[in-house]
Structure 1
Amino acid sequence: MRSMQASGGRGSTSLPLPAGFVQASLLWLALIPLGGGSWTNLAAQPVPPPQVPENDPIARFLALVAEDRQRLPQLPSGLVPEDKPFGPIVVPAPAGQAAISDALRDSAQDWLELAIQAGEAKHWSLAALAVRHALARDPDLAEARRLDGFVRDPETQGDPNAIWTTPERIALRKRGYVDHPQQGWIDASWVRAVNQGFLPAVGTERAPRFVAEAVADAQRAGMNPGWVVETDFFTIQSNLPRRDIVRLGRKLDRFREALVRLMADALSPRFTLASRALDGSSTARPVGFRHEVVIFADASSYRDHLRTRHGFDAGESLGVYLPAPLLKRRGSRGTVFLHRDPKADLDFETTLFHETTHLLLAELNGRGAPRDEGPGFWIFEAVATYFETTRVNEDGSVVFGTPETERLLVGRHRVVERGERVPLAQLLRLDKTRFHNRDHVFLNYVHAQALAAILMNDARLTPREVFLDLVKRAYSSTGPAADRGPSLFDRLGESPQQLEHRLNQFLAEHVPKVEVIRRTSPDKTNRNRSE
């Protein structure tokens, strides 16, 4: 299998429609089931294969989607991207070790070839998603595993059924940890006691004195200290029950894996498959640092901690990402702080994914916390609100961009039914203070989230790459976001009025209309804060 080489590339200021794009897009739209029809029914109606321009990975992607619909009519939901216009994006997990059919194996090979082609053209996000689709069809494609960041488990070297793992998991094992099914990564010396229902008493983790699990959880309820739980990529401090922390931590790991693939164009190559694609023999290395999250069981502890430890007024916020310069402790990394609020209009995991998006994009762009005080602040909240819609499935796949969210449901009512709109030309010039103006903050968030959704979920892919380039510039530059290259309208080739029409159409046609709108205040719906 050939590996990607550092050839070709996209311009940094514009992303024109590729040759053959219109033909491939029309084919894709022709395959959309109407009136609730199924893909299985369409499989009986052969569609002539499109003429795919050579060296055009976006057109090849669209054609491959159509081809898989024909040859794999019973493919599980999510294994063919973008089931409908502006539908959510599924980042699949590698399949299990079950036997696969020849058709699946052929499809996997095609997706791997697409990944290589996309990488050669430096479409890194498309390449990363294509690799995941290859592994979802054939989990033993060695080149796809290498590109996706997996390595052979050193404990099974030489075994024909050797297990694939990640450098992060190997590093944790070298520290003497084992991954317990219920309690997560624990010291190997704990295993026997943990299997019997015990955990270390507070303050005895290094020389454990074991007590009943419920007692150990209760001892940490005051966060003095709470549990410190290691996951593959995160260190989480919390006074929640340890099992709850482990469950959330595993979701965060899957979230990070999927976000890094979908956002590869916007991140430093060091953290994506680009670092391996440019060198056909390299394998993934541990990231080298851990992302930090602190979760409180109640709002008062959250506010008190931020005020007394960091001099930060959290107000009524549900969560906040504080970059390292704002933390009053030496040598610290940027950290997400949040709390569970059973009365909040936004559920806890929405806040968790929103704030963690701010953290990940700041830490994985290679430049640290961005300057976000100038005009163009919308991009920071647009990308965070897009990823707050995350759903992590039991099979490890991750779904991004579903429109059935609390904010968009209420926003549809206000924008479509009541005609409350924010001119996009105005929105894109707002700085942080004006974006958070109390009288307009809710509608600003609605328009930013809807704009992210129509760009990220566009089945044509090119609008997604425009958005990713804007995110990259916002997080990697030191100037105001609005001054980082051509405007969004110029990049898309649309006037503000045309894009506003598309945004309103998206809200009207793709966000469900609800009969009863809860009385949701802007403060409650937008209490996530990123400083």
Structure 2
Amino acid sequence: MIASGALSPLAKGDELAAAVRRKFDSYRDKLKQLADWCESEGLADQASRTRAWLQPVAEDRLLIPILPAQIGGESPPDDAAPGVKEWYQKWMTLRRQQAEDLFSLARGAIRQGRAGLALDLALRALHENPDHEALRRIFGYQPYAGEWRTRYEVGRLRAGQIWDDRFGWIPKSQLARFERGERPADPRWISVEEDTRRRRERNIGWTVDTEHFQVWTDHSLEGAALVGKKLETLHELWSRLFVRYYLTEAQVLSLFDARSRSFAPQPVQHKVVVFRTRSEYNEALRSRAPQIEITGGMYVGDSRTAYFFFHESPDGADLEQALDVTTVYHEATHQLFYELGRVAPTAGQRGNFWVIEGAAMYMETLRREGDFLVLGGIDTPRMIAARFRRLQDGFYIPFREFTAMTMQDWQSDPRIGAVYSQAAGITNFLIHHDGGKYREALVQCLLAVYRGTDTPDVLARLTGRSFAGLDEEYLQYLKAMPPLPPMRLESR
């Protein structure tokens, strides 16, 4: 293979990462040229929009564009000035070409076993051309009534239902009555207050079904809908980042093969319970976790259910303020890994427990920034703590020892806070370092750990690096970051 000029997987990855950087650099130059042309034509607004269009290629975080549902998007009005129309045509031509180029790079990444990078590139391509049908199909969308919808959504819409962020899926014909504060109670309608009283007296609460979750709460209908929407966003990103955890290589390849019918897995609905108060949560789960008071949420594998609670909030406060969304994302990530794969009862008990918690801590960084959903970042709390522990506190457990730690080792370690910080830092490193060249190794490590097929040296084998080499790379990765803000952490 060496004689024939073939590259090793990591060398291919390095070459691919360089090609991606060149493509974005070239596109940025073209956008700058278009912005300069706009300014020369006196099109100040268009120049500003063009310059702001391309987000920088972030080295420390994933940027996932929020895609418009409407097909066709915006275009200049018929009475727009000729210069504005010309700018729009030039702008759209650049964007469509960039979409095709990124799609080509994505298919190349798939052939090299870089599924995570391929999906990143496909999403960035959709950001440029949201109506690219082949790209939309990869993510499970189909055209329906002038919008891009999933198969699940199309089924709901055809049944006469509509999604509302306050109420979940309800019959479209009933939306006005819901908005007036009425609720159905066959054979009549009652007030929100009466509905709340009845449900709490009978302990039946509210249930909101989404494509991938069934959320029950005794808080409110709005509370169930809020949690359902948050969890759907988490699922959307989790399913892209960890696609090779739950799909085979052949299934992923079929997604990018325009000649074949895309593989579309049937959605699995995960159960979630959100109690109205912490005291209810504590009482319901104390038998499962004697130290329930120190938890903010938990996933229970034998019942295949994630449990959370709403915090007390002042009257009139935003409902989101009463929800610890970081904990929701963390525990629901455990749920997704547990329920969408073949999980061995010994997962994490023979070592490599770091990767189970590391992945959950990474997903808890989910937030929105402008037109993008974001994961990771050197400025997230756990990542700042990881940098501080390693660079200023001098705390570090070498890879060989760290990967050998079991769940029991973690739970009994008096330095557990620092151990968690290191796992968060290592996970960010494996996902983002050098264009994400170790990202697929991380996913395959997760797969091995959850299936119970991992060995003490599984991470070294998957990355193609010795543990000592990973120790040094991780240190240099942290040192290359901007200076840390002033801070102080507990000694543990």
Fold shared per TM-score above 0.5: yes
Name the residue aligned to 1:445: 420
- Check conservation: 1:268, 1:364, Cα contact below 8 A: no
Q: 1:322 Cα deviation (Å)?
A: 1.5
User: 1:286-319 deviations in whole A, cap 9, x for unaligned?
Assistant: 62431222122322211222246x6876352111
* Distance in 1 between residues matched to 2:478 and 2:138, nearest whole Å: 37
Q: 1:447 Cα deviation (Å)?
A: 0.8
- Check conservation: 1:79, 1:92, Cα contact below 8 A: no
The equivalent position to 1:131 in structure 2, one of 108, 117, 122, is: 122
Name the residue aligned to 1:353: 329
Name the residue aligned to 2:105: 114
Q: 1:501 Cα deviation (Å)?
A: 4.1
- Check conservation: 1:167, 1:285, Cα contact below 8 A: no
Name the residue aligned to 1:268: 247
User: 1:180-207 deviations in whole A, cap 9, x for unaligned?
Assistant: 253221244532311322234xxx4x65
2:306 aligns to what SS in structure 1?
strand
Q: 1:89 Cα deviation (Å)?
A: 0.8
- Check conservation: 1:18, 1:59, Cα contact below 8 A: no
The letter of the residue matching 2:147 is I
Counting only pairs closer than 5 Å after superposition, residues 462-501 of structure 1 correspond to structure 2 as: 462-475=437-450, 477-479=451-453, 481-483=454-456, 486-501=457-472
- Check conservation: 1:105, 1:138, Cα contact below 8 A: yes
1:94 aligns with 2:64: no
Q: 1:124 Cα deviation (Å)?
A: 2.1
User: 1:45-86 deviations in whole A, cap 9, x for unaligned?
Assistant: xxxxxxxxxxxx544333323222222346677955742x3x
2:273 aligns to what SS in structure 1?
strand
Name the residue aligned to 2:269: 290
Which stretch of the first structure deviates more once superposed, 406-415 or 295-304? 406-415
1:376 aligns with 2:352: yes
* Distance in 2 between residues matched to 1:335 and 1:402, nearest whole Å: 29
Counting only pairs closer than 5 Å after superposition, residues 65-84 of structure 1 correspond to structure 2 as: 65-73=24-32, 82-83=57-58
1:335 aligns with 2:309: no
Aligned length: 444
The letter of the residue matching 1:287 is Q
Q: 1:464 Cα deviation (Å)?
A: 1.5
**Structure 1's 237 and 20: CA in aligned 2 closer, same or farther, altered over 3 A?**
closer
Name the residue aligned to 1:317: 295
- Check conservation: 1:72, 1:104, Cα contact below 8 A: no
- Check conservation: 2:444, 2:462, Cα contact below 8 A: no
The letter of the residue matching 2:128 is R
**Structure 1's 392 and 468: CA in aligned 2 closer, same or farther, altered over 3 A?**
same
Q: 1:270 Cα deviation (Å)?
A: 9.8
Name the residue aligned to 1:10: none
**Structure 1's 291 and 77: CA in aligned 2 closer, same or farther, altered over 3 A?**
farther
* Distance in 2 between residues matched to 1:165 and 1:425, nearest whole Å: 46
- Check conservation: 1:318, 1:351, Cα contact below 8 A: yes
- Check conservation: 1:81, 1:89, Cα contact below 8 A: no
The letter of the residue matching 1:336 is A
* Distance in 1 between residues matched to 2:337 and 2:406, nearest whole Å: 19
User: 1:478-516 deviations in whole A, cap 9, x for unaligned?
Assistant: 34x335xx5323444544444334444555554763435
**Structure 1's 410 and 286: CA in aligned 2 closer, same or farther, altered over 3 A?**
closer
Which protein has the larger Cα radius of gyration, Structure 1 or Structure 2?
A: 2
- Check conservation: 2:115, 2:243, Cα contact below 8 A: yes
**Structure 1's 121 and 243: CA in aligned 2 closer, same or farther, altered over 3 A?**
same
2:207 aligns to what SS in structure 1?
strand
Name the residue aligned to 1:209: 189
1:170 aligns with 2:154: yes
- Check conservation: 2:246, 2:341, Cα contact below 8 A: yes
1:17 aligns with 2:1: no
Larger RCO, structures 1/2 (Cα 8 Å, 6+ apart): 1
Structure 1 residue runs of 5 or longer lacking an equivalent are: 1-13, 25-56, 157-161, 328-333, 523-531
The letter of the residue matching 1:257 is E
- Check conservation: 1:362, 1:368, Cα contact below 8 A: no
The equivalent position to 2:382 in structure 1, one of 371, 382, 407, is: 407
* Distance in 2 between residues matched to 1:255 and 1:490, nearest whole Å: 30
| Greater helix proportion | 2
The letter of the residue matching 2:156 is L
The letter of the residue matching 2:277 is D
Identity %: 23
The equivalent position to 1:199 in structure 2, one of 183, 188, 206, is: 183
* Distance in 1 between residues matched to 2:344 and 2:151, nearest whole Å: 23
TM-score, structure 2 length as denominator? 0.79
The letter of the residue matching 1:66 is D
2:294 aligns to what SS in structure 1?
coil
- Check conservation: 1:255, 1:392, Cα contact below 8 A: no
1:517 aligns to what SS in structure 2?
coil
* Distance in 2 between residues matched to 1:428 and 1:67, nearest whole Å: 41
TM-score, structure 1 length as denominator? 0.73
1:399 aligns to what SS in structure 2?
strand
* Distance in 2 between residues matched to 1:369 and 1:275, nearest whole Å: 31
1:303 aligns with 2:282: yes
**Structure 1's 149 and 273: CA in aligned 2 closer, same or farther, altered over 3 A?**
farther
* Distance in 1 between residues matched to 2:487 and 2:323, nearest whole Å: 19
The letter of the residue matching 2:107 is I
1:61 aligns with 2:48: no
**Structure 1's 427 and 139: CA in aligned 2 closer, same or farther, altered over 3 A?**
same
Name the residue aligned to 2:44: none
Q: 1:467 Cα deviation (Å)?
A: 1.4
Q: 1:380 Cα deviation (Å)?
A: 0.5
